[in-house]
Structure 1
Amino acid sequence: MTTPLPSTAPDYATLDDAALVARVRQGDRNAFGDVLRRCNQRLFRVARGVLRDEGEAEDVVQEAYVHAFARLAHFRGEASLLTWLTRIVLNEAYGRLRKRRPQVAVEHIEEIQMGQGQVLPFPGQAGNDDPAAILARDQARRLLEQAIDRLPEPFRIVFVLREIEDCSVEETAAALGLRGETVKTRLHRARRMLRTDLHEVLAATLTGTFPFLGARCDRISAAVMQRLNALP
């Protein structure tokens, strides 16, 4: 039997994952709106990292949210809510990817990369607010996005999670169903592949890659909530 919700809505931002999910299960769809706001950027970046298409990535994120809402009873809290949603997004994105042309085997790519180049280090973001520097970083960001898009998908998604989303090895491994050593190896080789396109100074733009602007966040949230509100 569902426990009645309090008449006054709480400050959703103060609720942890378990409390937020509990409210959604009790019929508070506004609480799911806060899930969207918490998770939109990560999930969009993950979907885009797989598909390399922003419009398709938005579609994937929306579909994943609707599937997640329907399956929320299966969320046991064994992983974080964001990790659980990431897996759903990846399943949806990989399903679409399988409909495309055959992909080169990961093992073949890794074999080619063995012994090539040096690891490309990525230092922290620069703090220069000079307009010329901001413009230069914006141009560098676009070049970096293009270089990341050229990475083979298995290496690209690891790079997106580890370097752009700053996920730990453990969280990345859990989201992708990989061993920690595999995550480390793929990140190492992704950096090698990027070295041919980029110089170390471009690393200052990492935190701004694939920007998730307010308009896109609002559009995805509004579309998902409209679909959920139409449910019986």
Structure 2
Amino acid sequence: MTAIDASLARDYAALEDAALVALVQAGDREAFRQVMRRCNQRLYRVVRGVVDDDAEAEDVVQEAYVHAYAHIGGYRGDASLATWLARIALNEAYGRLRRRRQTMDIEQVEAVAAASGRVVAFPNRFGGEDPAAAAAREQLRRLLEHAVDALPEAFRVVFVLRDVEGCSVEETADTLGLRSETVKTRLHRARRLLRNALHDNVAASLSDAFPFLGARCERMTEAVLARFDALPPR
């Protein structure tokens, strides 16, 4: 059986993370496709919580995947695969913020604030072609996302990981390099700020916030794999 035949015969979705990583380390790009499908939504959500922009968040996640693929040999399983990838994505996101702050002077900041009155807004839709987004409670979800956008960044990222993505306190702390008590404190403050802005029934829509499934997930996956064609063979 050729390598291509073996690849087609594998059920990648049924494999554990460690098995996928081993295949990727051996040069199996189809295994990395499954890694991306498995982790796309979490990475997009946490990066979106940092950069406040849909398009830039997708770009950051792509860069994070390219970096991760190039350094997959260094993954030793000390943290979960999702946590390892999230750290890489957060490093890229925070690097972008630092560069952005270096190039935007005070006058520009004041002009943006005066024009918008708030942080960068989400678009009205996440793409009508995505069934997950189309089925969401659109108006309520937009309200929630705007409110989350308005949180201070340190609180926003913790809230996205804990209440939107459903990570544990320990996993959130590990991903962000914080103490567990700090995660708990920031989450408490984030929830209190949101309660001041939203009605209690937004809790029913948390699982629909910042969707990155279906067509968007596949587009991201294919874009990253296409970039691998320019890389030397492993």
Q: TM-score, normalised by structure 1?
A: 0.81
Q: CA deviation at 1:214?
A: 1.7
Query: Which residue of the partner structure matches residue 123 of structure 2?
Result: none
Q: Who is 1:94 aligned against?
A: 94
Q: Determine the C-alpha separation between the residues in 2 that align with 1:180 and 1:48.
A: 22
| Residues 1:158 and 2:188 aligned together | no
Equivalent residue letter for 2:23: R
Cα distance in 1 for partners of 2:138, 2:75 equals: 39
Structure 2 residue 191 is the aligned partner of structure 1 residue 168:
no
> Could you tell which deviates more after superposition, 143-152 or 210-219?
210-219
Code of the residue aligned with 2:24 in structure 1: it is: V
CA deviation profile, 1:3-22 (whole Å, cap 9, x unmatched): x9695222111211111111
Unpaired runs of 5+ in structure 1?
A: 103-133
Alpha-carbon distance in structure 2 between the residues aligned to 1:20 and 1:144 = 35
Q: What secondary structure does 1:99 align onto? A: helix
Alignment equivalent of 1:8, drawn from 6, 9, 26: 6
The residue type paired with residue 163 of structure 1 is D
Shift of residue 30, structure 1, vs aligned partner? 0.9
Other-structure match for 1:209: 209
Instruction: Give the C-alpha shift of residue 195 in structure 1.
Output: 1.9
| Cα shift readout 1:184-227 (whole Å, capped 9, x = no counterpart) | 00000001111221111111111101111422111111110001
**Separation (CA, whole Å) in 2 of partners of 1:56 and 1:179:** 28
Q: Deviations 1:33-63 (Å, cap 9, x if unpaired)? A: 1111000000000110111100000000000
Amino acid at match of 1:225: L
Letter in 2 for 1:223: A
Tell me the matched-pair count: 197
2:169 counterpart of 1:199? no
Structure 2 CA distance, aligned partners of 1:227 and 1:163?
A: 33
The list of structure 1 runs, each at least 4 consecutive aligned residues, that deviate by more than 3 angstroms after superposition, is 4-7
* Maintained 8 Å contact 1:36/1:221: yes
Query: Which residue of 2 is the match for residue 119 of structure 1?
Result: none
> Which amino acid counterpart does residue 53 of structure 1 have in structure 2?
D
AA aligned to 1:31 is A
Q: Which residue of 2 aligns with 1:224?
A: 224
Q: Call closer, same or farther: CA 1:213–1:21 in 2, change over 3 Å.
A: closer
Q: State whether structure 2 residue 65 is matched by structure 1 residue 54.
A: no
* TM-score, structure 2 as length reference: 0.80
Identity among equivalent pairs (%): 66
Secondary structure of the residue that 1:23 maps to in structure 2?
A: helix
1:88-122 per-residue CA deviation (whole Å, 9 max, x = no partner) reads 000000101112338xxxxxxxxxxxxxxxxxxxx
Within 5 Å, give how 1:113-192 maps onto structure 2. 137-192=137-192
1:74 Cα deviation after fit: 0.7
Partners of 1:40 and 1:217 within 8 A in 2: yes
> In 1, distance between residues paired with 2:5 and 2:22?
16
The structure carrying a bigger helix percent of its residues is: 2
Could you list the runs of 5+ residues in structure 2 that have no partner in the other structure? 103-134
- Partner SS, residue 79 of structure 2: coil
Shift of 1:170: 0.4
Cα shift at 1:84 = 0.2
Match of 1:65 in 2: 65
* Contact persistence 1:5–1:26 (CA under 8 A): no
> How many Å separate the matches in 2 of 1:6 and 1:225?
16
SS at match of 2:101: coil
Alignment correspondent of 2:25: 25
